[in-house]
Every structure is written in structure tokens, then in C-alpha cells.
């Protein structure tokens, strides 16, 4: 297929149901973000297949891999939960010129909320969209706590 489509969640049941451009294909190959697959595509897979006559071949392998697969022509649709330019920049930083979103049709079909949950003893009492979070997370330093609270 020459048309490259990217589903973002910033998810695509409604988009896929209306995607007449794919009607000539028996299989629609989709890869990318678990957030999109698990919240939008998988719960609606049977309905999408019934309404379109397509068989959805879904690979959950992350934003970056979805975008790389789309760019390489391995899939018809990429599922991306992160901002597309951020994903593109990260991939190209790791391997210069590896992907481009030029000419990609982006269909934003949903949004998700993000919550931080911390140990009740954590000194952070609140966060806002203006709060500057560290660029690096303390990977490997998280542990289960007997109590927690939402911020």
C-alpha cells in the first residue's frame, strides 16, 4: 500500500471502521503502542473485522517499532501513543535518518490521562502540568510500598 497511516493516542476503531482505502486488502497489518492496542484496537477487533471484511494482524511492539515498521513498509498502520515528533526524533537520534513522518497521514483518535502514584511517605505533595520533572527516571529504584496515594 502506498498510503501510510498512523493512529495516535495523544488510538483507532472509528478510523479503521471508516477506512475504505483498505477495503481492497484482506489483511490489515498494524503494529505499535500497547496503550493504543489494548484500549482501542483489541477491544474492537471483532467489530472492525466484521464491518470491514478485513483480518487485523496486530503486533504490539511499542511506539518506535510501530513507526519503524510503517516507515519500512512492513505494516499498513502504526499505533503511536507518544507525540509523533518525539518518537521520530528519538528514533533518528539513535540512528540518524532512520525514519521520517513526511507524507504520513496522522489520525488522532483519542487521548489518555496519566497519573503519578507515589508512596504515601514521598515528600512530593502535588504535581501540575507546569511542574518540571527530571529527564531521567530512577529505574530499578522503585519498590512496592504498603500504602500509596494519587497526586
Query: Residue 50: inside a domain, yes or no?
Result: yes
Is position 37 within any domain?
A: yes
Write out the residue range of the structural domain in which residue 45 sits. 5-108
- For 125-139, what is each residue's pLDDT tens digit? 777 766 655 544 444
Give residue-wise pLDDT tens across range 86-126: 999 999 999 999 999 988 888 887 777 777 777 888 887 77
Residues 6+ positions from 70 with CB-CB distance below 8 Å: 4, 5, 6, 31, 77, 78, 104
Note the pTM of the prediction, 2 decimals.
Answer: 0.65
| Bridge partners of residue 74, in order along the sequence | none
**Residues 6 or more apart from 17 whose CB is under 8 A from it?**
47, 48, 51, 52
Predicted local confidence at residue 107, as pLDDT: 85
Q: What is the CATH number of the domain that holds 50?
A: 3.40.190
**C-alpha grid cell, residue 56:** 487485523
- pLDDT band of residue 143 (cuts 50, 70, 90) is very low
Q: Which residues pair with 7 in a beta bridge?
A: 79, 107
Q: Is residue 21 domain-resident?
A: yes
Neighbours of 4 (CB within 10 A): 18
**Per the domain annotation, does 51 fall within a domain?**
yes
Residue positions counted in the chain = 151
Residue 102 lies in a domain: yes
Number of domains in the chain: 1
**For the chain, what percent of residues have pLDDT higher than 90?**
40
Which residue matches cell numbers 505499535? 32
112 or 63, which is more confident? 63
**83 within a domain of the structure (yes/no):** yes
Amino acid at each position: 500500500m502506498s498510503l501510510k497511516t498512523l493512529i495516535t493516542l495523544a488510538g483507532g476503531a472509528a478510523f479503521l471502521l471508516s477506512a475504505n482505502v483498505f477495503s481492497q486488502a484482506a489483511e490489515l497489518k498494524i503494529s505499535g503502542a500497547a496503550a493504543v492496542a489494548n484500549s482501542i484496537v483489541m477491544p474492537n477487533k471483532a467489530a472492525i473485522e466484521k464491518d470491514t471484511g478485513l483480518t487485523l494482524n496486530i503486533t504490539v511492539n511499542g511506539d518506535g517499532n510501530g513507526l519503524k515498521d510503517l516507515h519500512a513498509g512492513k505494516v499498513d498502520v502504526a499505533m503511536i501513543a507518544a507525540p509523533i515528533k518525539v518518537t521520530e526524533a528519538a528514533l533518528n537520534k539513535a540512528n540518524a535518518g532512520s525514519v521520517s513522518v513526511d507524507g504520513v497521514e496522522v489520525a488522532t483518535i483519542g487521548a489518555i490521562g496519566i497519573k503519578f502514584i507515589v508512596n504515601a511517605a514521598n515528600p512530593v505533595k502535588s504535581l501540575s502540568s507546569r511542574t518540571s520533572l527530571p529527564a531521567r527516571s530512577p529505574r530499578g529504584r522503585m519498590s512496592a510500598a504498603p500504602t500509596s496515594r494519587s497526586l
